[in-house]
A and B are shown apart, each in its own frame.
Chain A
């Protein structure tokens, strides 16, 4: 009789099973705790208190089971992933070798924020593990109220739509001393997430969850190769249908020639994705900045909204970093515990946020101006 009859059942079927993977590690304690959850229909994990590496106050998620007779401490380490989640096998093999020394070798590719997660380390092994893995230049990521590990799409490494160098921006931010200090030593009201998308397709899903989303875009014209457009049509691509889905009603197709009204193009990326050989984004490239997204929360979930419709982004991205800290400093001053920046702005008003950060209002920030007559004036704006 198996020790884990319910998990054995979960192993069946064509999709590769994580239960099978846990079994391969020989981590019987974790497997048993997992089986108990299936028996009892509740989790058997509890808080793990403050654990971590000396000098770091974040990145290790303390975890204890509630059945110490089976397994006691079993923490997770969040490690900063390489840009766009590219791993050389050389680095990965070495990482595995070190991780196997200190654990059963269970790994999670990846956590929702982006870090790769190493699952199941005992408290006293965290220090020797990191001593060793840090020599391979693997650093610990963020947790709690801090600068979270950022993430970026594949960008110019393998995508023709990449309008900014997402990997380089990621690498620059994640190697910045001040940012790393704020990642490893939480001091913010809550988490701050930066995500970097190469184009408005937003493969990084930043609009749903980033406090600041940097989206590559362009402000000149889409480049059209009419010959290639006709070839797509010959191959059976319904170009009229694609044009009919254009959110800016900016496309016209007469069966011979495709016309795009670039002033009304909303940079949604749909036609470019469908005809990448025929349509190319323009050359005057930069980024749209979107801020304040988050899942659930005091006021419900927020989708990110436009902070700046277009900025130029030049190496070493000092302006971007300055802007990030302008946002953080204001939020750190005004935010309440467990309040993301979008919520602080919602509570206090965009007027106060813009006024105090010196950022400029822009009509592209809103779907429409306000529909009520209730607003404040700042001192000096009206006569005493």
Chain B
């Protein structure tokens, strides 16, 4: 028996049922925190209570049998509660200092890496990709895994110039709002969708499709009760496909990956900023995406060795200038890097203020 209308719409369970006892007791009373070692920090309350938080990575898609193992550890060390962060790490909140290293040993046995705090590489925000989505041009979880495997030491230590946020999204829908990350890896389509008139006429709302297109590339095709797509206007965003199965856009030959750098969301220092295009296209090369991993690694290593303390990727690039960024990373600057879409003129450098190194 389905629930009646009166029984629906009740919302999430109360957070007070979810919090560990120590946090409930000290709610709103915390006065400072300090990093103890990579992956572990301590919070101190005005009541004198302390808690230790151990942060671990996770596979993101988890088997329920593994969830039960996480619960066992949380019961043993964390007062029967565990928490996920907005970047999908797991936080293990431990009231007893002596339990911290014991917990870490057990997490290591489960294969969960410890880290992602302070000036480290934080957990990689990622969409579902080819695991379970119909629109992606690439497999975000597969790329995230390959990047993690290569850069895991940066997750486990915290001696980078500042924090490093990497995010991966499979298509221009950008689930996870990856467009403000230090490094964003974004799946891209490069050909317009192919229109299947029969499916469009049967399964899709044509006015909605026309309205959805950001570049007004979709026009009605009344004869076929379908639409046509102006290939000169389409910029392959795929939003029409996300609402209509009759315009498939996936293309094994041309789909691939773009890389963006220098974004951030926090208000600290220079404030929020978008990521900017670094590499317009790299091929899809599953299962390990070596070309993508190589570029990400090169960018991280260049920043890590050249940035001054507290400089996020974008702050470092602002200081040295974009010509130096392309020079130092060896990435090619192409016509695709100059915005010709909406805000193009705002991105041009006005006047004649050129750094010495930019004239060489």
Interface residues of A (CB under 8 A from B): 6-7, 9-10, 12-18, 20-22, 24-25, 30, 34, 37-38, 40-47, 53-56, 63, 74, 76, 80-93, 96, 99-100, 105-114, 117, 119-120, 127, 130-131, 134, 136-139, 151, 153-154, 156-160, 162, 165, 167, 170-171, 174-177, 180-181, 183-184, 200-209, 238, 241-242, 245, 247, 266-270, 273, 276-277, 280, 293, 295-301, 303-304, 336-338
Contact = CB atoms under 8 A, between A and B. Distances in A.
Kindly state the interface size class of chain B when it binds its partner: 35 or more
Contacts of A300: 341-343
A374 B276 CA distance: 31
Nearest to B285: A41
A15 B149 contact: yes
A47 B245 contact: yes
Contact of B30 (A45, A92, A160): A160
Nearest to A75: B132
Contacts of B3: 55, 130-131, 134
Given A171-B12, A295-B178, A158 B2 contact: no
A92 B60 CA distance: 16
Given A14-B113, A156-B28, A301-B274, A34 B10 contact: no
A169 to B, nearest CB: 11
B294 to A, nearest CB: 15
Given A46-B245, A158-B93, 17 more contacts: A24-B65, A41-B252, A45-B134, A63-B132, A83-B12, A109-B58, A113-B175, A157-B23, A157-B27, A158-B51, A175-B10, A245-B269, A247-B269, A273-B268, A303-B274, A304-B272, A336-B211
Nearest to B76: A89
A180 B179 contact: no
Interface of B: 1-3, 5, 7-15, 17-19, 23, 27-28, 30-34, 43, 51, 53, 57-68, 71, 74-75, 80-86, 88, 90, 93, 110-113, 125, 127-136, 139, 141-142, 145-146, 148-149, 152, 172-180, 207-208, 211-212, 214, 237, 239, 243, 245, 250-252, 255, 263, 265-274, 284, 286-288, 309-310, 341-343
A293 B272 CA distance: 11
A15 B152 CA distance: 7
Contacts of B237: 296
A137 B7 CA distance: 11
Contact of B287 (A38, A176, A247): A38
B110 to A, nearest CB: 8
Contact of B132 (A6, A74, A134, A296): A74
A377 B38 CA distance: 58
Contact of A15 (B5, B8, B148): B148
